[in-house]
């Protein structure tokens, strides 16, 4: 099998890699955003729970999480944990939520209580102040950080082949096993991973940094 | 006598071991302009924030048109909607244009339809002569322009009273003039205002009463005339001397 044929095969895994990464990324946003606001404005007990959640998902290696949920938890709850796509997105998504919650929390701190106070001074409720004043700014403020988080997800999605997701990595390993070529399939996959991470991560970083500067979001 | 718009009775604000506001009582009537001045760190900002219920007073009561805001169960969002607040450091919303900043409360507090909110926001911007800058973001405006938008944002809802916390002291000296002019216009229209400021010529011109504030409490009150000619306490005398010297230097 020559390199081009290998590439053609490995390309079949790109969809899975992208799907897992993007789904996890959005799980990360939709879970991470509320967590970050609850962590800052919520009750003491909410803060403790969120801290525990973040410590767990950030502290345990991703490989351990994947194997634990797929083989361990999946033993007792085959539905839904024996579905490889579910478990891959569950683990990557929640770990990303833990990361993103910290990114967003940094943004809330960076933007400052003053914006919240100014919103409240107009008669907006706390929820509306968060919705109309804090949230849009938090998202812009966080965009450069989200770029790195997206790159991390693309790369870390490669672990998911171990529980059976047929992604770029899975094809590379199969080709290695079938052809005994230990070099080309990995180089090709490395190239594909760079192609998938670099442009989008750079774009988010540049766009976010420029927007932050334009709006004067950095605190002086 | 006109109606009392805002009043506080025996107001205290105590942080852990600092008494920021000490037993303050004052009244502001319809159309009145009162001006608070005093050394920095004397609790003026804290007092204003207590009156706007942006921070909860430790003891004492705040009334807005006779309604007590400090008893439990009051809808503070509704109360705050009737109080305009202008901050020393302005705090415009960075992600919204000048118009967006003014419109926000009209849309989501007063719940006006889009067109009407826009119309009222524009007329508030006209009042502070910022209509040409409606579509600029705060970062594109000078400090003085930002503060005028801040004032438009505070007055667009037609609040019962506007509280202004040193609206010019964070600005470069050459930019204070335009903000003072805006405030002068508001004064002419009979807007009820409580202003923390050290702009003495302006105070002399518009204030119905001046309040000398030090160490968290009211030391002396009187007309501008009284303070400029013969303040009765030693502390006020000294402070006035310093202010007048500073104003001359400028």
Tell me the two tokens of residue B190.
């009979």
Place of tokens 């909607």: B81
pLDDT in tens, A45-99: 999 999 999 999 999 999 999 999 999 999 999 899 999 999 999 999 999 999 9
For A116, residues 6+ apart whose C-beta sits below 8 A from its C-beta are: A129, A130, A133, A134
pLDDT at B175: 86
State the nearest Cα–Cα gap between B110 and chain A, in angstroms. 9
Nearest to A137 by CA among B131, B91, B201, B85: B91
Q: Does A127 touch chain B (CB under 8 A)?
A: no
Tell me the two tokens of residue B110.
């007063």
Are B94 and A132 an interchain contact pair (Cβ–Cβ within 8 Å)?
A: no
- The secondary structure of A107-157, three-state, reads HHHHHCHHHHHHHHHCCCCHHHHHHHHHHHHHHHHHHHHHHHHHHHHHHHH
pLDDT in tens, B223-243: 999 998 889 899 999 999 888
Q: Does A135 touch chain B (CB under 8 A)?
A: no
Contacts of A119 in chain B (CB under 8 A): 93, 104
A69 vs B64: CA distance, rounded Å: 58
Q: Which of B77, B87, B138 sits opposite A124 (nearest CB)?
A: B77
Distance of CA B10 to the CA centre of its chain: 20
pLDDT in tens, B176-193: 999 999 999 999 999 999
Q: Which of B54, B77, B83 sits opposite A117 (nearest CB)?
A: B54
Residue of A nearest to B85 (CA): A121
Contacts of B162 in chain A (CB under 8 A): none
B159 vs B195: CA distance, rounded Å: 15
pLDDT in tens, B23-80: 999 999 999 999 999 998 899 999 999 999 999 999 999 999 999 999 999 999 999 9
In chain B, where are the structural domains located?
33-41+85-249
Are A122 and B105 an interchain contact pair (Cβ–Cβ within 8 Å)?
A: yes
Bridging pattern class, strands B59-64 and B33-37: unpaired
Full-model pTM = 0.90
Domains along the sequence of chain A with CATH: 3-215 (1.10.3720.10)
pLDDT over 80 (residue A118): yes
pLDDT over 80 (residue A201): yes
The complex scores an ipTM of 0.92
- Domain B33-41+85-249 classification at class level: alpha beta
Residue of B nearest to A213 (CA): B139
Contacts of A114 in chain B (CB under 8 A): 87, 89, 91
Q: At what angle do helices B143-155 and B173-188 cross, to 10 degrees?
A: 20
Q: Does A132 touch chain B (CB under 8 A)?
A: yes
């Amino acid at each position: 099998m020559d390199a081009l044929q290998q590439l053609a095969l490995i390309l079949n895994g790109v969809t899975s890699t992208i799907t897992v990464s993007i789904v996890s990324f959005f799980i990360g946003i939709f879970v991470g955003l509320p967590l970050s606001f609850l962590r800052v404005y919520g009750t003491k007990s909410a803060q403790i729970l969120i801290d525990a959640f973040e410590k767990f998902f950030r502290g345990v290696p991703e490989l351990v999480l994947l194997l634990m949920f797929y083989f361990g938890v999946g033993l007792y709850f085959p539905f839904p944990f024996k579905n490889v796509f579910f478990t891959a997105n569950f683990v990557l998504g929640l770990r990303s939520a833990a990361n993103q919650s910290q990114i967003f929390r940094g943004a809330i701190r960076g933007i400052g209580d003053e914006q919240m106070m100014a919103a409240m001074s107009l008669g907006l409720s706390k929820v509306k102040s968060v919705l109309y004043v804090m949230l849009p700014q938090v998202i812009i403020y966080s965009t450069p950080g989200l770029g790195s988080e997206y790159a991390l997800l693309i790369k870390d999605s490669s672990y998911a082949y171990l529980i059976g997701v047929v992604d770029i990595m899975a094809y590379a390993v199969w080709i290695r096993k079938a052809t005994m070529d230990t070099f080309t399939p990995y180089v090709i996959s490395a190239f594909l991973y760079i192609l998938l991470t670099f442009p989008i991560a750079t774009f988010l970083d540049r766009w976010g940094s420029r927007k932050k500067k334009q709006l004067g979001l950095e605190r002086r | 006598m006109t109606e009392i718009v805002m009043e506080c009775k025996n107001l205290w604000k105590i942080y852990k071991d600092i008494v920021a506001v000490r037993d303050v009582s004052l009244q502001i009537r319809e159309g009145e302009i009162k001006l608070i001045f005093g050394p920095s760190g004397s609790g003026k900002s804290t007092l204003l924030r207590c009156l706007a219920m942006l921070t909860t007073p430790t003891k004492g009561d705040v009334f807005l048109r006779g309604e007590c805001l400090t008893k439990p169960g009051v809808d503070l969002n509704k109360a705050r909607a009737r109080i305009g607040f202008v901050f020393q450091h302005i705090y415009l919303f960075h992600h919204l244009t000048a118009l967006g900043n003014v419109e926000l409360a009209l849309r989501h507090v007063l719940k006006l339809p889009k067109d009407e909110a826009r119309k009222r926001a524009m007329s508030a911007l006209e009042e502070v002569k910022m209509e040409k800058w409606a579509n600029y973001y705060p970062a594109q405006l000078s400090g003085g322009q930002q503060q005028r938008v801040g004032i438009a944002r505070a007055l667009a809802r037609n609040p019962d009273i506007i509280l202004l916390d040193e609206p010019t002291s964070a600005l470069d000296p050459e930019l204070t003039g335009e903000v003072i002019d805006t405030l002068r216009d508001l004064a002419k229209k009979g807007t009820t205002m409580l202003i923390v400021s050290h702009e003495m010529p302006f105070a002399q011109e518009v204030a119905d009463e001046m309040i000398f504030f030090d160490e968290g409490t009211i030391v002396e009150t009187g007309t501008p005339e009284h303070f400029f000619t013969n303040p009765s306490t030693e502390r006020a005398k000294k402070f006035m001397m310093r202010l007048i010297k500073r104003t001359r230097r400028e």
